[in-house]
């Protein structure tokens, strides 16, 4: 057991922690949490979050507190801003391993499940962003698992597990609100109904869980209600939760099948195994040669329940789905382990061979994409990009050799190490390396040219992450008319704007502007398949300008 834990900690530390602070805060939602935590320390208001020196009610307080607590001890930076998410990722890996080990009794399958969680692309991406989604997934997973333990009639200390249910739910509620209650309820209700004759659900344990939930999750909401009145409740629970779920106010409507490719992509590079291995068991179930076991029912409900909930929502985002990955990792890990345990089974060997060789081909294709797209990796050191391409090629060879020789005992280790190589190539060979990055250069230009309290405006460029580096309140401009009016101010002003937007503003406004400087960077938010297949630097790299009207 000790070896399993240490190896999973090592894997997840490589994928979640290594180089965590190398990349500047991105112009995405993570900038809200990083800057709000910094302003919390700067302003001393530990009750109400602020972003760009204005109150921010959109999310609860726990992630802000964790990050601000780190900022209070050290200089605010990228590593500490993301550390809470990365640490949650490591804990989630160990929880996935522990739950799979207890549920299935399969040590190897549990380790593979933990390795999948540690090396899948979805958790890799989320652990390296200053966002509360991975902590929420941790608390949701802990709530579900602890509730299963609390209602297990064989459990010796069910009251302790009930207390952990309340604590995990309360912390989840303090992280992102009602989803911390809704998702576990959607999972546990059908499981308990199906197992109603065997579970031990005691009123006293429910009381313990509710008490711990109230202690952990409610005081901050009560304080916000006292400070801001019912306007806060309306803003957060109705606008930021109900309207986000049921309307297109925050996100455009997406197709019903939207989350299918998101889940498959989030499991990369293990996706091929998920697509290949279940077919034979599903066929046997369809032909009534076997039935789903109780454990399989639990994991299936655990996966399908949240997936249906998020599919039913109008506003969809890729990161909402991260709580479904642990049960999928458990099912897949045990599925791989079962086939490794029967090396003489021709069908099992054939499935493993197909999945491994296709995965090897996928790695080869990704190595080619890295090679073709290297002209876009302007923030990475070329030496690291080339080293990463070599690593992915070596992983391709290792996987191909495993599939051809069928030495299956090495498959879990080869897949885990290959996945680490791929993800670190993405991190160091594509995203991060050279500092200062573009947003930091713009911030430095502002500080070098700003003589007094001249206003700063942002128009479609660095609208979220720039305040973290300037530490100055900025005016966020939403349309051409607003930008032109801002530039026509009687006082000197600075505007951060994309090159294409600037050309249009100059044509419409007909005003002389002083270009102070410009930076070019790769905005990964705009990446499309064509971007990687046919990279065009002049089209795919964004140029941001700093201009003034004097």
Provide the H-helix boundaries in 229-258. 230-233, 244-246
Question: Residue for token digits 């009251």?
Answer: 159
At 428 the pLDDT is 95
Residue 545 three-state SS: strand
Domain range for residue 99? 2-250
Q: Which two tokens stand for residue 473?
A: 């309140």
Same domain assignment for residues 407 and 444: no
Angle in degrees, 0-180, between the axes of helices 78-104 and 30-43, rounded to the nearest 10: 120
Please classify residue 484 by burial: count the beta carbons closer than 10 Å to its beta carbon, then call 0-12 exposed, 13-18 middle and 19+ buried.
middle
411 and 492, same domain (yes or no): no
Q: Looking at the structure, tell me whether residues 32 and 114 fall in a common domain.
A: yes
516 falls within a domain:
yes
Q: Do residues 31 and 99 share a domain?
A: yes
Tell whether 400 is covered by a domain. yes
- Count CB-CB contacts under 10 A for residue 384: 18
Same domain, 356 and 500: no
- The encoded tokens of residue 104 equal 């299935």
Residue-wise pLDDT for 69-113, tens only, equals 999 988 899 999 999 999 999 999 999 999 999 999 999 999 999
Domain membership of residue 67 (yes or no) is yes
pLDDT tens digits, one per residue of 270-309: 999 999 999 999 998 898 888 999 999 999 999 999 999 9
Single residue among 400, 416, 431 that ends a domain in this structure: 431
| Cβ(466)–Cβ(442) below 8 Å | yes
Q: DSSP string spanning 358-398?
A: HHHHHHHHHHHHHHHHGGG-TTS-HHHHHHHHHHHHHHHHH
Nearest to 518 by CA among 486, 480, 544: 544
Gap between the Cα atoms of 168 and 327, Å rounded: 18
Residue 401 sits in the same domain as residue 479: no
Establish if 279 belongs to a structural domain.
no
**How many domains, the chain?**
3
Q: How confident is the model at residue 255 (pLDDT cuts 50, 70, 90)?
A: confident
Q: Is 526's pLDDT higher than 80?
A: no
pLDDT band at residue 254 using 50, 70 and 90 as cut-offs: confident
Q: Tokens in use for 82? A: 């993301």
In this structure, the answer to whether residues 380 and 517 fall within a common structural domain is no
Residue 195 C-alpha from the chain's centroid: 33
CA 366, 371, 376 angle in degrees (round to 5)? 105
Once rounded to an integer, what is the mean pLDDT over residues 464-473? 95
Task: State residue 239's pLDDT score.
Answer: 83
Which of 321, 338, 544, 363 has its CA nearest to residue 440? 544
The angle formed by the CA atoms of residues 380, 18 and 527, to the nearest 5 degrees, is 45
Cα–Cα distance measured from residue 508 to residue 485, given in angstroms and rounded to the nearest whole number:
11
* CA pair distance 53, 474, nearest whole angstrom: 9
The answer to the question of residue 511 being in a domain is yes
Q: Tell me, yes or no, whether 495 and 400 share the same domain.
A: no
Q: Average of pLDDT values for 389-404?
A: 98
Residue 331 domain flag? no
pLDDT above 90 covers what percent of the chain?
A: 81
Query: Is residue 132 domain-shared with residue 196, that is, in the same domain?
Result: yes
User: What is the DSSP pairing of strand 456-459 with strand 494-498?
Assistant: parallel
Q: Among residues 359, 317, 307, 300, which one has the least CA distance to residue 183? A: 307
Three-class SS of residue 519? strand
Q: Are residues 495 and 398 in the same domain?
A: no
Last residue of a domain, one of 410, 431, 452: 431
Asked whether residue 298 is domain-assigned, the answer is no
Residue 473, phi then psi, degrees to nearest 5: -70, 130
75 with 101, same domain? yes
The token pair at 137 is: 């997934």
CB neighbours of residue 290 within 10 Å: 11
- Among candidate residues 409, 431, 453, the one where a domain is terminated: 431
Does residue 207 share a domain with residue 168?
A: yes
pLDDT of residue 252: 76
| Distance (Å, whole) CA 95 – CA 12 | 12
Q: Are 525 and 487 in contact (CB under 8 A)?
A: no
Return the half-sphere exposure (C-beta side, CA atoms, 13 A cut-off) of residue 93.
32
Contact yes or no for 385/430 (Cβ under 8 A): yes
Residue 223 maps to a domain = yes
Task: Read off the pLDDT band of 49 (50, 70, 90).
Answer: very high
Q: Which residues pair with 459 in a beta bridge?
A: 477, 497
pTM of the model: 0.95
């Amino acid at each position: 057991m000790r070896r399993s834990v240490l190896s999973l900690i090592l894997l997840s530390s490589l994928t979640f922690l290594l180089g965590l602070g190398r990349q500047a805060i991105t112009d995405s939602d993570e900038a809200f949490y990083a800057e709000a935590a910094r302003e919390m320390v700067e302003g001393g208001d530990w009750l109400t979050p602020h972003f760009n020196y204005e109150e921010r009610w959109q999310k609860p307080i726990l992630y802000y507190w964790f990050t601000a607590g780190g900022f209070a001890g050290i200089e605010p930076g990228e590593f500490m801003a993301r550390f809470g998410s990365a640490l949650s990722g490591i804990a989630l890996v160990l929880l996935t391993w522990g739950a799979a080990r207890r549920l299935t009794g399969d040590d190897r399958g549990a380790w593979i499940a933990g390795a999948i969680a540690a090396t899948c692309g979805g958790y890799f991406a989320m652990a390296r962003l200053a966002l509360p989604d991975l902590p929420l997934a941790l608390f949701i997973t802990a709530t579900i698992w602890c509730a299963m333990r609390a209602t297990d009639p064989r459990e010796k200390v069910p009251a302790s597990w009930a207390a952990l249910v309340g604590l995990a739910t309360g912390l989840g509620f303090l992280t992102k609100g009602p989803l911390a209650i809704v998702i576990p309820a959607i999972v546990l209700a059908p499981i308990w109904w199906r197992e109603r004759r065997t579970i031990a659900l005691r009123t006293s344990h429910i009381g313990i869980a509710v008490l711990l939930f109230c202690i952990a999750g409610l005081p901050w909401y009560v304080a916000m209600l006292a400070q801001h009145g019912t306007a806060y409740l309306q803003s957060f629970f109705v606008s930021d939760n109900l309207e986000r779920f049921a309307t297109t106010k925050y996100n455009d409507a997406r197709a019903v099948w939207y989350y299918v490719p998101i889940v498959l992509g989030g499991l990369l590079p293990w996706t091929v195994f998920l697509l290949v291995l279940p077919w034979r068991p599903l066929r046997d179930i369809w032909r009534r040669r076997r039935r789903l076991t109780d454990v399989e029912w639990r994991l299936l409900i655990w996966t399908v329940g949240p997936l249906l909930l998020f599919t039913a929502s109008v506003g969809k985002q890729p990161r909402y789905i991260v709580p479904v990955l642990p049960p999928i990792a458990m099912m897949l890990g045990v599925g791989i382990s079962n086939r490794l345990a029967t090396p003489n089974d021709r069908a099992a060997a054939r499935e493993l061979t197909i999945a491994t060789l296709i995965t090897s081909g996928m790695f080869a294709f990704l190595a080619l994409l890295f090679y073709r797209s290297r002209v876009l990796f302007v923030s990475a050191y070329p030496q690291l990009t080339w080293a990463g391409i070599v690593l992915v090629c070596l992983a391709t060879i290792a996987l191909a050799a495993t599939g051809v020789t069928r030495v299956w005992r090495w498959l879990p280790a080869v897949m885990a190490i290959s996945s680490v190589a791929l993800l670190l190539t993405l991190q160091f060979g594509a995203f991060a390396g050279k500092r200062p990055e573009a947003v930091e250069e713009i911030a430095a230009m502002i500080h070098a040219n700003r003589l007094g309290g001249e206003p700063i405006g942002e128009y479609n460029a660095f609208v979220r992450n720039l305040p973290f580096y300037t530490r100055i309140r900025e005016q966020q401009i939403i349309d051409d008319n607003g930008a032109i009016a801002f530039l026509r101010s009687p006082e000197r002003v600075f505007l951060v704007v994309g090159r294409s937007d600037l050309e249009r503003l100059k044509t419409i406004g007909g005003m002389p502007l002083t270009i102070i400087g410009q930076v070019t960077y790769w905005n990964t938010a705009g990446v499309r398949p064509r971007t990687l297949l046919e990279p065009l630097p002049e089209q795919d790299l964004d140029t941001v300008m700093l201009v003034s009207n004097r």
